[in-house]
Structure 1
Amino acid sequence: MQLLQQTIDQIQGIDRQMEEKARMYIDSLAKPPQSLGKLESLALQIATITGDLAPKIDNKAVIVMAADHGVYEEGVTPNPQSTTVFQTLSFPKGTTGMCTIAKISNAQVIPVDIGVKEDLPQDAGVIIKKVKYGTDNMAKGPAMTREEAIQAIEVGIEVATEAIQNGINLIGTGEMGIGNTTPSAAVLSVLHGCDPLAVTGFGAGVGAGGIEYKAEVIRKVIALNEPNAEDPIDVVAKVGGLEICGMAGIFLAAAANRVPVVVDGYISTVSALIASKLNPNVKAYLIPSHLSEEPGAKIAAELLGLEPMLHMNMRLGEGSGAALAFPILDAACSMITNMVTLEEAAALLVAK
């Protein structure tokens, strides 16, 4: 709890003077004002976060939190739980969907076992930070204890902080865990105060009962565990997941270290919502990537005040949307770094 509280306390609001300086500089570039649309907004945000009018995001990483879920026992997905293991072991090999996208921008992939149900080989290239062997079945009781939830958040803080200390200057969030759209929908349903059906989707595949059954399981989970919507740690402990906690820790660490962090899809956005409940200043450091096909993704983004930049009909997870957004962020930084101002352009004409 000490690391978590220290990190929360460390997070400051953005520098408004720097924001205004960056805005004025971008407006002075050789183009009509706002003609580059969201590229300008992204450049403004990254320059403000980093405090640099020529921001560098040349050392990127997607941190992938992997964990299993006890609620799998309720038949919410037909996919074998063993998928979590072989996909987690595939990240170091660079063969997953997200990894192939991350290669485009030379981003590192940092996989973390925060709660996979099986033991993974120590030499597989996965960081082993296992809090427990998957969550407990939240249809029969809390997914984890409050202490385990805090421990999992602190794992995210530790991994992200170490990456930043090693030179990472742009982080994307990712996850791997069969069944994890169920706890994501449960957490969002509690925080938004809505019926689970409104935020429950197909995920990577629904069980025989379909989405209605999946939503009914979530209703029972919430009724049984009675999570306190005013206490985000209570919510994520009772009806959440270990990787959801881990990603929340990544967001907190990035904000505390003034490093921009890219939010992936549904599960990542729910994690960002948890982090922002712990410290609202986190929101200023979040860069949304894509709008997931999951119905709760739009609701979660709206609660955070985020507008995803990509609409690609994706729902893979893993951090795939975050990795896909990296080249766009490179373009935004190139714009603010390399474009001449109107004054400079005029001077060049005179010099000729």
Structure 2
Amino acid sequence: MEPAAEDLLDRAVELARQARDADDYEAVWEILREVAADGPASLLAGTDLLASSDPVVRAVGCDLLGCASDLHEAVRADAASALLRLAPPDTDGDLSWSIAHALGSTHDRRAAPVLVSLAEHPDSDVRLQAAQALPFMPPEEVVIRALIRLTADQDSPVRNWATFGLGSQAEADTPAVREALWARVGDEEEDVHAEAVFGLARRRDPRSTALIVELLEAEQGIYSWGLEAAACLRDPALLPHLTGYDASSPPVATALCECDPAARRRRDDFAAALLDAVYERSPDADPAVFSTLLETGLILRTTHAEGTDTWSVEALMERAHGDARRAAREI
């Protein structure tokens, strides 16, 4: 690494020693983001810092690897390997926080066991980092169980992130997941309650209709991702409560379409006609229309020698003014 970068890292460690709160540490993050601009060099530097006997230096090394992973997907696997060599995590809260935060940035499935362990750390800030990272791990039973435990955490930010992760990011849909989300309905923290409702609506749990209506009718209105959850629910009973929202807004337009049986039928008819039109023009493309779990809308997929292409059926329908043959020609 260039001498200038080494000097910056020395300064970062010095500032980290002096930091007393998150605001103080922001100066450290600024330096680390600057150093991390050079992905390969920051990977080597961060890995070297992890070898230190000083927990502050190791924590800065973790944070540097996390920044590098945020900026450069190519370094994530090697960064995760270096971070996992620190496992089992040190009980030191600051170092454990940095390990959890950095592993979350790598999105590496190998990190799941460490993050599950950190989800039970005595420091709520460490548990918060685990709650934010676990939804990006493979939805294995042990990961889902850890998220379920965190939804009942005594710390409200941890509960909020875990409920969001379980309800809106994780794709698991089991009785245990729904029970955990339902347990957070009525939580003293309004955001936790809302995230639980959204998670249930995404799973088309009929109990969530009345709760979505309450959020739609609330004075402050509903979050945009709440509108997406309403769209997943596909309940015509929501239509009268969506009329007060701006229909030109994409989340509102999607909710109106999904909750209106007639609009959904027009979209589905277009999708069927589009599938036929694409197959007629290019049968080797092996076209398919599908939807994804806990998401709205339909996707058209075609295959070719180089791989696959996908398009939003709704976007094609709008662009081609409902003409399936025109949409097939354009793609």
* TM-score of the pair, normalised by structure 2: 0.29
- Return the TM-score normalized by structure 1: 0.27
Larger relative contact order (CA 8 Å, sep ≥ 6): 1
Which protein has the larger Cα radius of gyration, Structure 1 or Structure 2? 2
Greater fraction helix:
2
